[in-house]
């Protein structure tokens, strides 16, 4: 008997995912009937994007698990109609993309590339940039993506630190946790990379107090979630000159409205939530493996802890 798998996402994603999912099911030995529409009471698993039309899970009476295509699950984690396990996306393509975006933007600021890209004024100025070994980068949210980025930055020679909920250890990266660890992390952050999930505990974590605790001239990169930052406080910290720049990929409202002050602020770079994207071929393997596991009675990978919110 095949399992019925509903693909609940935008229609353009269906075209992108249908073949990779069917191939991955076949490779994993999962017999599945995959469709983008089913009578709800016939659905066994939902492959899910939180921006799909499925917002009420009540009619999906025999659904065994919801498998998110997104790493960030803040839009679904509090859904009270969802009573079955929820998994989030951990995908090699997502990690690769994030690593490249973070390394690129760290290097931009570290090397002061803007001065040469925008400042070709005929003046021959001496002065080489600092070396990476003399620059401290702190990754706030030292999870799957944070660790991938941190390790790549270590390979480039940066002094890297990671801050997380639970205390971690790493042979090349200094690890902090908890409230005291947060203060220490801020003090080390010549460049701060925000890769935390957006939860009640991380809402506006980066506010005036946090910015004041960062070194003068610090730079913020936010590919995590817009809600991590108090936007008003960020603009004030940039205007005062305490922070040198913010490169923001994610926002409280997306798409970022055309009249948002971030678009025109001289010390802000906006990228349109493109730091990283789930890639169909690798993500399909993760989905197929989780359905295989569920059918075999094995624990699911990347289960969301709904009490923690991520």
Positions that interact with ligand NAP (CB under 6 A): 71-72, 90, 94, 141-146, 164-166, 195-199, 201-202, 223-225, 249-250, 273, 275-276, 310
Q: How far is the CB of 71 from ligand NAP (least distance, A)?
A: 4
Q: How far apart, in whole angstroms, are the C-alpha atoms of residue 109 and residue 132?
A: 11
Burial of 81 per CB tally in 10 Å (0-12, 13-18, 19+) = exposed
**Joined tokens for residue 310:** 């991520």
Q: How far is the CB of 100 from ligand NAP (least distance, A)?
A: 11
Q: How far apart, in whole angstroms, are the C-alpha atoms of residue 140 and residue 201?
A: 13
Residue whose beta carbon is closest to ligand NAP: 143
Residue 5 or 145 with smaller CB distance to ligand NAP: 145
Q: How far apart, in whole angstroms, are the C-alpha atoms of residue 231 and residue 211?
A: 12
Q: How far is the CB of 95 from ligand NAP (least distance, A)?
A: 8
Residue 63 or 152 with smaller CB distance to ligand NAP: 152
Spot the catalytic one: 170, 273, 279, 306.
Answer: 273
Q: How far is the CB of 62 from ligand NAP (least distance, A)?
A: 29
Residue 32 or 109 with smaller CB distance to ligand NAP: 109
Q: How far is the CB of 43 from ligand NAP (least distance, A)?
A: 26
Q: How far is the CB of 219 from ligand NAP (least distance, A)?
A: 17
Residue 166 or 307 with smaller CB distance to ligand NAP: 166
Radius of gyration in angstroms for the set of CA atoms belonging to the chain, rounded to a whole number: 21
Spot the catalytic one: 88, 109, 225, 292.
Answer: 225
Is the Cβ–Cβ distance between 310 and 88 less than 8 Å?
A: yes
- Report how far apart, in Å, the C-alpha atoms of 213 and of each of 177, 216, 219, 269 are: 16, 9, 13, 22
Q: Identify whether 183 is a catalytic site residue.
A: no
Q: How far apart, in whole angstroms, are the C-alpha atoms of residue 189 and residue 213?
A: 9
Question: Cβ of 182: how many Cβ atoms within 10 Å?
Answer: 17
Q: Identify whether 225 is a catalytic site residue.
A: yes
Residue 90 or 236 with smaller CB distance to ligand NAP: 90
34 three-state secondary structure:
strand
Residue 20 or 181 with smaller CB distance to ligand NAP: 181
Dihedral (CA of 120, 123, 128, 130) sign: negative
**Joined tokens for residue 257:** 């409205």
Q: Which of 34, 71, 33 is nearest to 49 (CA)?
A: 71
- Hey, which residues are catalytic here? 225, 273
């Amino acid at each position: 008997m095949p399992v019925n798998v509903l693909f609940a996402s935008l229609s353009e994603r269906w075209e992108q995912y249908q073949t990779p999912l069917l191939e991955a099911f076949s490779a994993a030995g999962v017999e599945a009937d995959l469709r983008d529409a089913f009578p709800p009471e016939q659905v066994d698993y939902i492959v899910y994007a939180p921006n799909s039309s499925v917002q009420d899970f009540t009619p999906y009476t025999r659904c065994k698990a919801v498998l998110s295509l997104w790493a960030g699950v803040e839009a679904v984690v509090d859904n009270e109609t969802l009573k079955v396990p929820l998994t989030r996306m951990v995908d090699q393509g997502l990690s690769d993309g994030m690593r490249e975006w973070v390394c690129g933007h760290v290097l931009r600021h570290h090397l002061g590339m803007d001065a040469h890209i925008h400042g070709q004024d005929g003046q021959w100025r001496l002065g080489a940039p600092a070396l990476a070994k003399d620059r401290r980068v702190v990754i706030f949210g030292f999870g799957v993506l944070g660790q991938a980025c941190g390790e790549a930055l270590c390979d480039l020679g940066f002094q890297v630190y990671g801050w997380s909920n639970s205390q971690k250890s790493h042979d090349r990266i200094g690890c902090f946790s908890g409230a005291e660890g947060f203060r220490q992390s801020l003090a080390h952050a010549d460049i701060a990379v925000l890769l935390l999930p957006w939860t009640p505990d991380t809402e506006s974590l980066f506010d005036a107090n946090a910015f004041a605790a960062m070194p003068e001239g610090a730079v913020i990169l936010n590919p995590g979630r817009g809600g991590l930052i108090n936007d008003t406080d960020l603009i004030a910290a940039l205007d005062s000159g305490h922070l040198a720049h913010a490169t923001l990929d994610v926002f409280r409202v997306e798409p970022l409205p055309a009249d948002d002050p971030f678009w025109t602020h001289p010390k802000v770079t906006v990228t349109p939530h493109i730091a990283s994207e789930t890639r169909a071929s690798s993500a399909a393997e993760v989905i197929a493996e989780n359905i295989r596991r569920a059918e075999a009675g094995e624990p699911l990978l990347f289960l969301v802890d709904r009490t923690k919110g991520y």
